[in-house]
């Protein structure tokens, strides 16, 4: 086993490590140290469970393990699905010292984390993300929740995990489309606050797509470092943390309008980042670099055809909106993001077809 890095998310008494490495499965990491009671429930899905559930068990020593496997896909990120987790906890007699372990991608992590936040008003929670998107983004920061038919992640809670355990070997079984979707969030970090990382991605995208171990480890490490630093500064998104949603106002609208799962989250965010950059009015050279990097990652740079009124309706439920006013994450330049309700209405009309 080779550990690349342990990164701390500094939140006082809720601080926790992000452990990034290879070969953690099959008993090579003592996850039991983060399961303080005798019982744990592993939440996975029908795709990931056959691959990694039995491999994870030896890491939990003598803990009493139960498991549940959810249907796979964004369309199942619902209250009804979360209810099945709560039912499993109740029927298994889970107490307050039970730990919920999320083994899977972002959907599994978000639903399992929300169940952990709600069950008996909060039980311990561990993240074992198996997709690139979950490893670099959704597993870190404590955002949990489910979708509503009127908007993405509208129902949820902040609930920080005990540890995030990232085994990059799990990416070997990740389909190419899912891997590329995860790269959207990696690109996002460079675009919002680290121009040097953005330039590094430009030079290393081919190696990333080939899953070169050292290049991949650095991309995950730097993404987690940025996320950890921003979350430590603004845990509940009262200020700076909102910049992590660059491209997401448009991206979430795409997901909702097409139907959850038609476009993967990262695909929608990729197109959304281009729209947000265009709305920002950044220099043509910066916009061109962003488009070229997203294209190199095999991701879309143009949104699907959506009627203007549907754009506005979908974006109206964006969680950054205040006093019924849309707020966007915009760029001053590559590497410098900010949140504002002061955007060019004419540009938004040109992008969406909706009246300003």
CATH number, domain of 91, equals 3.40.50.1970
State yes or no: is 237 an active-site residue.
yes
User: What are 80's two structure tokens?
Assistant: 């009804």
Cross-strand bridge partners of residue 325: 322
Owning domain of residue 235: 177-352
Average pLDDT for the chain: 95
Distance CA(297)–CA(299), nearest Å, equals 6
36 as an active site residue: the answer is no
At 300 the pLDDT is 98
Cα gap 244→249, rounded to integer Å: 11
Strand partners, 333: 336
Residues 241, 256, 289, 327: which is the catalytic one?
A: 241
Q: 40 and 148, same structural domain?
A: yes
Does residue 287 carry a pLDDT above 90? yes
Active site residue 121: yes
Report, as an integer, the average pLDDT of 338-351. 93
- 222 flagged as catalytic: no
Active-site choice (74, 185, 235, 267): 185
Same domain, 85 and 30: yes
**What is the total count of domains within the chain?**
2
Q: Which of 252, 289, 319, 327 is catalytic?
A: 252
143 catalytic? Reply is yes
Q: Can 88 be counted among the known catalytic residues?
A: no
The model's pTM is: 0.95
- Note whether 142 and 276 are same-domain residues: no
Catalytic residue among 74, 235, 237, 267: 237
Structure tokens at 127: 């993240």
Tell whether 74 and 212 lie within a shared domain. Answer: no
Whole-Å CA distances, 1 to 26, 129, 158, 220: 11, 18, 32, 17
Residue 3 to residue 5: CA distance in whole angstroms: 6
Out of 248, 256, 289, 319, the active site residue is: 248
169 shares its domain with 183: no
Nearest CA to 167 out of 120, 123, 208, 132 is that of 132
Return the pLDDT at 1.
46
Is 235 annotated in the active site? no
Catalytic residue at 211?
no
Query: 110-136 burial, b if ≥16 CB within 10 A, otherwise e?
Result: bbbbbbbbbbeeebbbbbbbbbbbbbb
CATH assignment at residue 262:
1.20.1090.10
Same domain, 108 and 67: yes
Q: Are 51 and 175 a contacting pair, CB within 8 Å?
A: no
54-77 pLDDT, tens digit each: 999 999 999 999 999 999 999 999
For residues 146 and 107, state if they share a domain.
yes
The verdict on 130 and 223 lying in the same domain is no
Helix axes 79-91, 106-118, angle to 10 degrees: 60
pLDDT tens for each residue of 177-219 = 999 999 999 999 999 999 999 999 999 999 999 999 999 999 9
Task: Give residue 150's pLDDT band: very low, low, confident or very high (50, 70, 90).
Answer: confident
Active-site entry in 227, 289, 319, 327? 227
Same domain for 222 and 194: yes
At 313-336, the pLDDT tens digits run 999 888 888 767 899 999 999 999
């Amino acid at each position: 086993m080779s550990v690349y890095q342990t990164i701390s998310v500094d939140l006082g008494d809720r601080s926790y490590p992000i452990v990034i490495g290879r070969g953690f499965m099959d008993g090579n990491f003592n996850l039991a140290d983060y399961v303080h009671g005798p019982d744990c429930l592993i939440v996975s899905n029908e795709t990931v469970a056959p691959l990694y559930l039995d491999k994870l068990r030896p890491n939990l020593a003598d803990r009493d393990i139960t498991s549940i496997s959810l249907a796979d896909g964004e369309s199942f990120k619902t209250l009804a699905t979360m209810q099945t987790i709560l039912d499993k906890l109740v029927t298994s007699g889970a107490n307050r010292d039970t730990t919920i372990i999320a083994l899977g991608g972002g959907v599994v992590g978000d639903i399992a984390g929300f169940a952990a936040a709600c069950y008996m008003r909060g039980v311990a929670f561990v993240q074992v993300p198996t997709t690139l998107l979950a490893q670099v983004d959704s597993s870190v920061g404590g955002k949990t929740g489910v979708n509503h038919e009127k908007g993405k992640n509208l129902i949820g809670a902040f609930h920080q995990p005990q540890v995030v355990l990232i085994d990059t070997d799990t990416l070997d079984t990740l389909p190419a489309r899912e891997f590329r979707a995860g790269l959207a969030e990696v690109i996002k970090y460079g675009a919002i606050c680290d121009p040097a990382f953005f330039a590094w991605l430009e030079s290393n995208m081919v190696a990333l797509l080939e899953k070169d171990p050292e290049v991949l480890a650095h991309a995950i490490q730097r993404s987690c470092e940025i996320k950890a630093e921003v979350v430590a500064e603004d845990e509940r998104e009262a200020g700076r943390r909102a910049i992590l949603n660059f491209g997401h106002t448009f991206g979430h609208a795409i997901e909702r309008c097409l139907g959850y799962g038609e476009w993967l989250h990262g695909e929608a965010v990729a197109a959304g980042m281009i729209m947000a950059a265009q709305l920002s009015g950044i220099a043509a050279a910066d916009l061109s670099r962003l488009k070229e990097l997203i294209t190199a990652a095999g991701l879309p740079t143009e949104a699907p055809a959506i009627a203007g009124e549907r754009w506005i309706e979908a974006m109206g439920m964006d969680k950054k909106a205040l006093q019924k006013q849309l707020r966007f994450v915009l760029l001053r330049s590559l590497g410098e993001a900010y949140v504002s309700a002061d955007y060019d209405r004419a540009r938004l009309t040109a992008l969406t077809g909706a009246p300003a």
